[in-house]
Structure 1
Amino acid sequence: MSKKMYPMLINGKFVESKKSIDVINPSTGNVLGLVPEADNDAVQQSLKAAEQGFKAWSSTTPAERKKIILRYADLLDENSERIVDLLIEETGKPRDNAEYDFGMLTTCLRFFVEEFERLDQPVLHDPDGRFLHYIQRQPLGVAVGMLAWNFPLLNVGYKIGPVLASGCSTIIKPSHYTPLASLETAYLAKEAGVPDGVINMITSSEHDVTKALLQSDVPSMVTMIGSTRGGLEVMNSSCTSVKHFSVELGGNAPVVVYPDADVCDAANKVVDLKFANCGQVCVSPNRCFVHESVYDEFVAAAKARAADVQMGPMISDKARQYVLGLVESAVADGSEIVCGGKAVEGAGYFMEPTILKDVDARMKVSYEEIFGPVLPIIKYTDADDEIALANDTQYGLAAYVFTTNLAKGLRAARDIKAGSVCVNEPHYSVQLPHGGLKQSGVGKDCSRYSLQEYLTLKRVSVLIEN
């Protein structure tokens, strides 16, 4: 039985190609559907369409855009059950995770419309009183978005939310692992009244083909969610003309658990975040530093919490084998498996939730991004500098601190080099800026700070007195 083809969307039209890509259900290993393998013609069509779409969309008023964007969000909600079911099939996510993933798309659409209305365009001081100086913000241009597979619709929302609200246009390339639900949401944009060419979505597994998107001088911005290695390749390919970048890349998030922390609460929250989405989360706890005085208590509490974890599959067997290799390497270097550590037998790419103790910072599982269901727990003592341990990584995306001492928590938040530091509870929300330091990227998703990246900052000076 032939599988359904999900075409690309370019300039409001369904576009196929000579080659196709199999989309695999990671829960079964079976082919779920097909998407086109974009060729150079499709890439060039999308660039031309986005250029035309920008001219049309940027000339509309904010009020006109708001009406269409809110209609789009409502239409997505009306089709949520169908889209969430497809998202579950292509990612293997549990339903509550998939509903959150979908919900962030509509949340972003509605949030950025409102946030656009709150943007300031201030009047600036003139020391001689001769000029009126003010700031004007205008749509930046065409944005190319290269997205990851772990939260497909959240990632789409992070990009098209500010794109649409600002008056820009976009070419989105979702991951070829999980393009189906993303394409379905793009189809609905046309039905909602988004002009042709404003949202274009292409599918490809070949970097050499999509490189033409990056090398073109049409895009004003290149934005990405993915690995640091991938980000460097994308940025390098894009430097054929001056472009803006907003890239959220790899992470190696530390957790610091101080001896005065509520240990059971800390363990529960760390485990819940670690095994969410099967550990395939950029802000997932990757290195858990626990003071020796509460180390055994924390390990026991984490093990107890992990016993109740229900996870979906990893995205591919290749990804699962990589993570299993990290576990094997850690054990060979002296770590001990507290629980899990194996692949789950049967169909799909499932793995047991895994906790490792007696890990040290020199093990590969400590300095590589895991992106899987493995929690390494590292003991530190009063002789150690726990902040230096937390900062001993090229990454700087997220960090977590647990303590009941306010001064200690604030000091750790100040000194840990990460784009976000959460004290006593992990917390993420659309109004809060999300992005990294060091090799974890530049720019922000979510919040007004993301929206501002899709707008120019123009200074206007008007002579009022000679």
Structure 2
Amino acid sequence: MNKVKEMDYLMNINGEWVGEDLDTLKVTNPANGEHVGTVPNGGEEEAQQAIEAAHEAFGSWSELTAYDRAGYLKKLHQLMLENQEELARIMTLEMGKPIHESRGEVNYAASFIEWFAEEGKRIYGETIPAHVSGKRLQVWKKPVGVVAAITPWNFPAAMLTRKIGPALAAGCTVLMKPSSESPLTAVKLMELCEKAGFPKGVVNLVTGSSSKIAKAIMENEKVRKITFTGSTEVGKILIKQSADQVKRLSLELGGHAPLIILDDANVDVAVKGVMASKFRNAGQTCICANRIYVQAGIYEEFVEKFSREVEKLKVGNGIDESVNVGPLINRDGLDKVNHHVQDAVSKGASVVTGGEVITEGEGVFFSPTVIKDVDQSMVVMQEETFGPVAPIQKIDSEAEAVHLANNTPYGLAAYVFTENVARGTRVIEQLNFGIVGWNDGAPSAAQVPFGGMKESGMGREGGHEGIDAFVESQYVSIGME
């Protein structure tokens, strides 16, 4: 990788590695507080340079055939798989997730590049029957232009490729702005883009101050599209800022996912599903189960079996192959998780297992936790925890479950466990969430649309819908007489 000194990294603008003269941002491993690397603390000037580079490259890149652009993407896909271990190690060191999860994320991230390499060949226009003789009516599809991709720390590879894959395939050029908590994975991906041969300016990477870089992005009219994954609060700010230039937006925002287990569910299947959903990335995922509602008839059985599995989880430094749950990203995240647990206990909930801050040097760990007898008065059922805490509330009916599940401003993901097809269909039809896992705790895939309803965002990523966000429909009426 491109380093100024050991483990220090640069950003890339117009095909050049730059930023050695800037102040730096330090990246530390949340498992032990050790220094992992530094990146340039770029701002408005660097963002403007990247925007100009992307704007200049747009003309030639957009004029390539979809097959030519697919060739570059396929090469990037190949390089990502060849460099899986290095990417995974960087990811684990900078943000803590277990190494086996990081390897899985690299594969997941690469799958978006592969999918959109092919999907770019299927951006179809239309010929529409004319209302009068002597005319031909057509719809052409054109790339929207320069795209700014702003991504979070928790999935530093997949959140980037899910955005730049369709953008590049559609003929757009991009500016990547990764989180300052985990920017090193993005640097490595930028290096692979360079090795894949992308022309100068087609892909640019800027690291540094989010507020300053975002200001440049939102004020520059050459940026026509913003694709952002992050908090609802920041998403609302971007919506307001985009209004001045009517920039196009794709927003994947906060979630507070309910998981409903009805009394005809297979309890063992439900336990497996909740384990897959809840504790991945130490519960720091936007679609992980945050509120678990279990019908009274199987409540005690589920709590017992689920807690038994949770107690088997090993917490520690993610670089250890045997670890299941890594650290939280920082002290603020740890404090929030601890507050949620303590609030629940103070209001009558019981900790079945876990519930403790784990002190291990400079590490930021919280034990995998199961809380039972929770209710709606508790913060943990009202706010997204973003940690390894599973609060379980007893419910009496599917109607109650649906009401509680929908009683939130968010609508990203939900989960339902039932063996009754009619019942499952009925419940899901009433749930206001963009993603639903039915007897499935891991519903994500490159070929399906990912996104939320209500305050969880707008637009969809992945699937054939994922590329639509990066093209404009141009209607053409042709006079033939």
TM-score (norm 1): 0.96
Q: Name the stretch that deviates more: 293-302 or 391-400.
A: 293-302
Residue 440 of structure 2: aligned partner:
425
Residue 401 of structure 1: aligned partner:
416
Q: Secondary structure at the match of 1:301?
A: helix
Residue 459 of structure 2: aligned partner:
443
User: What amino acid sits opposite 1:389 in the alignment?
Assistant: L
Asked whether 1:167 is paired with 2:171, we answer yes
Match of 2:264 among 248, 255, 260: 260
Residue 350 of structure 2: aligned partner:
336
- Following superposition, the deviation at residue 292 of structure 1 comes to 1.1
* Structure 2: gaps (5+ residues): 314-323
Output aligned runs, 1:28-427, within 5 Å.
28-309=32-313, 310-347=324-361, 348-382=363-397, 385-426=400-441, 427=443
Paired with 1:325 and 1:36, the residues of 2 have a C-alpha distance of 34
Residue 11 of structure 1: aligned partner:
14
Contact 1:68 1:194 in 2 (8 A): yes
What per-residue deviation string (whole Å, max 9, x for no partner) do you get for residues 193-242 of structure 1?
A: 10111111111134144322122111111111111112112222333201
**CA distance 1:209–1:126, change in 2 (3 Å):** closer
Residue 321 of structure 2: aligned partner:
none
What per-residue deviation string (whole Å, max 9, x for no partner) do you get for residues 282-304 of structure 1?
A: 00001111111111111111101
Structure 1 runs (4+) greater than 4 angstroms displaced: none
User: What amino acid sits opposite 1:320 in the alignment?
Assistant: L
Residue 453 of structure 1: aligned partner:
469
Paired with 2:53 and 2:124, the residues of 1 have a C-alpha distance of 31
Paired with 1:259 and 1:66, the residues of 2 have a C-alpha distance of 48
**CA distance 1:319–1:3, change in 2 (3 Å):** farther
User: What amino acid sits opposite 2:411 in the alignment?
Assistant: G
Q: Secondary structure at the match of 2:292?
A: strand
Paired with 1:277 and 1:383, the residues of 2 have a C-alpha distance of 30
Contact 1:26 1:314 in 2 (8 A): yes
Contact 1:291 1:380 in 2 (8 A): yes
- Following superposition, the deviation at residue 188 of structure 1 comes to 2.0
**CA distance 1:260–1:461, change in 2 (3 Å):** same
- Following superposition, the deviation at residue 7 of structure 1 comes to 0.6
**CA distance 1:383–1:51, change in 2 (3 Å):** closer
What per-residue deviation string (whole Å, max 9, x for no partner) do you get for residues 254-290 of structure 1?
A: 1111111112211221122100110011000011111
Q: Name the stretch that deviates more: 431-440 or 57-66.
A: 57-66
Percent identical among aligned pairs is 34
User: What amino acid sits opposite 1:407 in the alignment?
Assistant: A
- Following superposition, the deviation at residue 89 of structure 1 comes to 0.9
Paired with 2:221 and 2:176, the residues of 1 have a C-alpha distance of 16
Paired with 2:179 and 2:351, the residues of 1 have a C-alpha distance of 33
**CA distance 1:147–1:206, change in 2 (3 Å):** closer
User: What amino acid sits opposite 1:10 in the alignment?
Assistant: I
Residue 317 of structure 2: aligned partner:
none
Paired with 1:382 and 1:276, the residues of 2 have a C-alpha distance of 29
* Structure 1: gaps (5+ residues): none
User: What amino acid sits opposite 2:259 in the alignment?
Assistant: V
- Following superposition, the deviation at residue 355 of structure 1 comes to 0.9
Contact 1:398 1:420 in 2 (8 A): yes
Paired with 2:133 and 2:325, the residues of 1 have a C-alpha distance of 64
Contact 1:65 1:164 in 2 (8 A): yes
Paired with 2:128 and 2:469, the residues of 1 have a C-alpha distance of 21
TM-score (norm 2): 0.93
Q: Name the stretch that deviates more: 75-84 or 14-23.
A: 75-84
User: What amino acid sits opposite 1:322 in the alignment?
Assistant: K
- Following superposition, the deviation at residue 41 of structure 1 comes to 1.6
Paired with 1:129 and 1:453, the residues of 2 have a C-alpha distance of 34
User: What amino acid sits opposite 2:426 in the alignment?
Assistant: R
Contact 1:433 1:450 in 2 (8 A): yes
Contact 1:224 1:248 in 2 (8 A): yes
Aligned length: 465
